[in-house]
Amino acid sequence: MQFHLNGFKPGDPDISEPAGQGAAPLADALPGEVDILIVGSGPTGLTLATQLAAFPDLRTCIVEQKPGPLRLGQADGIACRTVEMFEAFDFSQRVLKEAYWVNETSFWKPDDAQRDQIVRSGRIQDTEDGLSEFPHVILNQARVHDFYLDVMRNAPSRLEPHYSRRLLDLAVAESPAGGAPTHPVTARFERTDPGHEGQVETVRARFAVGCDGAHSAVRKSLGRALHGESANQAWGVMDVLAVTDFPDIRIKSAIHSASEGSVLIIPREGGYLVRLYIELDKLNENERVASRQITSDRLIAAAQRILRPYTLDVKEVAWWSVYEIGQRLCDKFDDVPEQEEHARLPRVFIAGDACHTHSPKAGQGMNVSMQDGFNLGWKLAAVLRGQSTPQILHTYSKERQTVAKELIDFDREFAKMFSAAPKDPSRDDSEGIDPAEFQRYFVKQGRFTAGTETRYYPSVISAEPTHQELARGLVIGMRFHSAPVIRLADAKPMHLGHAVKADGRWRVFAFADAADPAAPSAAIGELCRFLAESSQSPIRKYTPAGADVDAVIDVRAVFQQGHRALALEAMPAFLQPRKGRYGLIDYEKMFCPDLKGGQDIFDLRGIDRRRGCVVIVRPDQYVAHVLPLDAHAELAGFFDGFMVEAG
């Protein structure tokens, strides 16, 4: 797509003026009691709210201090793993249509012959082949918000944020002798919208989540703080429409000058807009960047000096800001002290910038923050709907705090290398960084920045890797790495991972052995009979009476044979379940390798062809367990560890 040609305009590029202002903010009073209260409608809060909007039996309320939806956002980098998550929410294609695709990255250094000018030192593929079916893309944060809001409005609960509410205080009631209160969290909000200024509203909730940014009032109410340090380095960032002879202006470019600092160029969506991250002066100890009174003209001048011998004529500044590099982390992401976890359940959580902050240049902030919301949403829903024991809520802080710590360690090193002056090859005593070393570091960390290296360690919902050799490419604790398949019933080519939607359900993928799946003694048939008939089957134990058979755990099978070699009518009846009021057959449970395309999922993901395997996938797309096809008791035991039997 191309847009912004005649000036920057926020919003949906498919909507012509004067439309596209979005839904009017809710003017209704806040509900008195809710199941989940979300404070903050940034990307973290909206990810969480969109997940919870899928459950009409849960009452969710999302509250925002700003007067309406975001029109211009700061964040713009969307990692491959995040687009995979967007696919689960069914708006990945909207993102891909509008976004700039980061296909390559170029590196620029001082010219050895003329140190006050820059030359290209390298150009590489941005992400390695096969890392994800989706690219690394760039899109304004406000558009991501728009997509989430659209899904929320169309979800069963028809959820909308309440704007113009400032959190005054939040408290959690202690459990009285007679038992715990049903809605122990109390939050008070002050309205700031015209006609209601100063009105105070009180909401009681079963759980609350602070997604209210680095200055989080929810975090402060818990007595928690962000710990870390500042690098005492100022940077500017601006989105501009400009005319330039710099040849890589539509390529992501990392530029180190000899003495004027560094610039990171990020082309933006629409074909014309570009973002510049511009290194500014070092700050003194305890000095704040605001005291420098930096202007947009100063940022432009700095970029022009760094880009020499190329010119940069800025025609319009769509947005700009200045910031300080700093990495800070909260020691826990909920309200329960570590020593009390055995006796207390968390009632208040913090997510996103409320519990971890870092520099924006690695493009990780919004991505990691949204994954916080995705990690927590299905757990809250499972507990509130009586499907899982409340103990799974302890895993949120454990899993996401570890990820945030890894991000901050990476960001500290990446920011340090980016701000370092390049070495002068003509001087033996020259300090600084070798540009080739920076490029090697960028390549080495490619999987991390793509978001695909996150790994959750063993817990009640992430098993030990006892049988990992059965599926070496589907690592327990890491995201389910999708691969092409052919759906058996209609020969549709698709990605297997796209069957995992953000609906709170667990997935069980049964990868069959090489035997004929229609044979009476086939292992896949034995597994289906166990799941359909045994009293120990997690399907029978945890699916509510009257619900569809896949309402809680969705079982699908992948066969080794080509799709034309199998007869649909000979496949196990369990894989053709009858659902809904009419008992219609669901034909979308069985898949075969994409043999015509030469991308056999068994080879791509290292699945043992002789034995096959079972891969259990969490509702947030992470692999929870890998088991032999005949390990029926182990399969049941895994779910028995945290699921609540249906009444």
Residue with tokens 């059965």: 470
Half-sphere exposure (Cβ direction) of 239: Cα atoms closer than 13 Å: 23
Question: Would you call 441 a catalytic residue per the annotation?
Answer: no
Residue 352: which of 187, 458, 226, 222 has the closest Cα? Answer: 226
Q: Whole-angstrom Cα distance, residue 53 to residue 44?
A: 14
- DSSP assignment of 550-612: TSSEEEEEE-SS-GGGS-GGGS-GGGS-EETTTTEE---SEEEEBTTTTB-HHHHTTB-TTT-
Name the DSSP letter for residue 406. Answer: H
154-187 per-residue burial string, b: 16 or more CB within 10 A, e: under 16: ebebebbbbbbbebeebebeeeeeeeebebbbbb
Tell me what percent of the chain is helix, strand and coil, each rounded to the nearest 5.
25, 25, 45
> In this structure, are strands 77-78 and 60-63 parallel, antiparallel, or unpaired?
unpaired
Question: Would you call 268 a catalytic residue per the annotation?
Answer: yes
Half-sphere exposure (Cβ direction) of 205: Cα atoms closer than 13 Å: 31
Q: Whole-angstrom Cα distance, residue 264 to residue 508?
A: 43
Question: Would you call 360 a catalytic residue per the annotation?
Answer: yes
> In this structure, are strands 252-256 and 262-267 parallel, antiparallel, or unpaired?
antiparallel
Of the residues 76, 212, 550, 608, only one is catalytic, namely 76
Helix, strand or coil for residue 301? helix
**Which residues, in sequence order, are CB contacts of 458 under 8 Å at separation 6+?**
464, 477
Residue 212: which of 203, 222, 201, 227 has the closest Cα? Answer: 222
Question: Please, what is the angle between helix 632-640 and helix 523-533, to 10°?
Answer: 40
Name the DSSP letter for residue 488. Answer: T
Of the residues 100, 148, 163, 277, only one is catalytic, namely 277
Question: Would you call 277 a catalytic residue per the annotation?
Answer: yes
Of the residues 69, 110, 360, 484, only one is catalytic, namely 360
Separation in Å, CA 8 to CA 2, 23, 76, 77, 271: 12, 22, 15, 19, 12
Residues 507/499, Cβ–Cβ less than 8 Å: yes
Bridge partners of 137, per DSSP, are: 78, 101
Of the residues 59, 206, 268, 507, only one is catalytic, namely 268
Identify the H or E element spanning 146: helix 141-154
Residues 472/482, Cβ–Cβ less than 8 Å: no
Residue with tokens 């000979």: 570
Half-sphere exposure (Cβ direction) of 413: Cα atoms closer than 13 Å: 11
Beta strands in 419-465 (DSSP E): none
> 478: which 2 tokens?
């890491």
The 312-330 sheet, strands edge to edge: 118-125, 104-110, 252-256, 262-267, 274-282, 226-244, 312-330, 356-357
> In this structure, are strands 348-350 and 200-210 parallel, antiparallel, or unpaired?
parallel
Residues 354/214, Cβ–Cβ less than 8 Å: yes
Identify the H or E element spanning 443: helix 435-444
Residues 635/629, Cβ–Cβ less than 8 Å: no
Catalytic residues: 76, 268, 277, 360
